[in-house]
């Protein structure tokens, strides 16, 4: 039996659920890990995560499909991305097969918290890792915890999808040849002041430019960017300081193979912005969030798709991917993992 929650009106926030997965790395090896009801973490005041921000995370979702199955979407890609992140942060890799199994086991242990089909709500899954042993000199920790918790979250868009206004940022999200292409917690800490400043000034997000020249469009603080040209081509910025979004990767495949669109991954110059018909952000939370207006100091770009609704190409793209995730459209082989 599921929980008796007002699923459609849940916030996009944290709620303690029944079980979480915990594995510990000590003496050079990961232990078997356990599912536990204890949501508290106890560690030394000198833990590496507290001193030098040695932490990373992933985000994905579980869904109830149209035919009543509980599934999750491409967790193997989250495992691979965390492997790359850990290698760059000198953290021990949690093996891909174990990562995927731990995701499935954690969802299975919290099946009552998976929202019903049709509510717009989903079960958000947060795998993360951090240095837990004492570190006072600047060096990697020797002990780590890998954990997964889940929490039900409401629909990202309450009352329908409305295009947002973003600004071109003067600050940088990442350094050239830095950590922009991995999912390190420190990247998000660096963006917090700028996103709060954007909100205080009436903008939903910051659109970051490349940190070396401030010439090319990169991404926002927490999502990749999609553009649609006048001839219906889907364009996404390419750079070695952009986090490779699993949602974006999936959308590009859907655009090519399901909607038969032309797709380009390439550097996108800021001065190209007025030539695009549609623009949107893509990520786990919203799939696609449309942008209607881009403000660059004293000038602005008003996307022809407008401020009332998502443009037609991005709308079809979002509907197709969410249809695949919810079991209403046949998925490519290997994309959907069923939890039984």
Residues labelled as active-site residues: 183
d(CA 209, CA 85): 22
**Neighbouring residues of 84: CB distance < 8 A, sequence distance ≥ 6:** 182
Q: Would you state the structure tokens that stand for residue 284, as one six-digit string? A: 């786990």
Q: How many CB atoms lie within 10 A of CB 249?
A: 16
- Asked if residues 187 and 312 have their Cβ atoms less than 8 Å apart, the reply is no
Angle CA(144)–CA(245)–CA(57) in degrees, nearest 5?
15
Instruction: Tell how strand 268-269 and strand 216-217 pair up.
Output: antiparallel
Q: How many CB atoms lie within 10 A of CB 184?
A: 24
Instruction: Tell how strand 70-73 and strand 60-64 pair up.
Output: antiparallel
């Amino acid at each position: 039996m599921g929980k008796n929650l007002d699923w459609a009106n849940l916030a996009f926030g944290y709620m303690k659920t029944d079980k979480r997965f915990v594995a510990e790395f000590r003496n050079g090896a990961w232990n078997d890990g356990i599912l536990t009801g204890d949501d508290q973490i106890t560690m030394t005041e000198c833990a590496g995560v507290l001193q030098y921000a040695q932490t990373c995370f992933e985000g994905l979702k579980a869904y109830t499909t149209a035919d009543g199955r509980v599934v999750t979407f491409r967790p193997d890609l989250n495992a691979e991305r965390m492997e790359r992140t850990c290698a760059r942060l000198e953290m021990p890799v949690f093996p891909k097969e174990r990562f995927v199994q731990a995701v499935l086991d954690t969802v299975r242990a919290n099946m009552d918290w998976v929202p019903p089909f049709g509510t717009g709500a989903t079960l958000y899954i947060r795998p993360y890792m951090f240095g837990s042993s004492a570190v006072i000199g600047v060096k990697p920790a020797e002990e780590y915890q890998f954990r997964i918790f889940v929490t039900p979250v409401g629909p990202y868009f309450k009352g329908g999808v409305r295009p947002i206004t973003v600004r071109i940022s003067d600050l940088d999200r990442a350094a050239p040849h830095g950590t922009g292409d991995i999912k390190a917690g420190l990247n998000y800490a660096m963006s917090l002041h700028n996103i709060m400043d954007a909100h205080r000034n009436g903008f939903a997000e910051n659109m970051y430019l490349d940190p070396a020249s401030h010439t090319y469009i990169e991404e926002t603080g927490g999502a990749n960017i999609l553009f649609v040209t006048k001839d219906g081509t889907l364009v996404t910025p390419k750079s070695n300081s952009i986090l490779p979004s699993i949602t974006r990767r999936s959308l590009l495949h859907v655009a090519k193979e399901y909607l038969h669109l032309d797709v380009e991954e390439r550097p996108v110059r800021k001065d190209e912005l007025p030539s695009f018909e549609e623009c949107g952000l893509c990520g786990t939370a919203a799939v696609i969030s449309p942008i209607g207006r881009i403000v660059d100091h004293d000038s602005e770009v008003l996307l022809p798709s407008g401020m009332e609704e998502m443009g037609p190409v991005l709308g079809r793209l979002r509907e197709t991917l969410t249809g695949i995730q919810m079991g209403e459209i046949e998925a490519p082989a290997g994309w959907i993992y069923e939890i039984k």
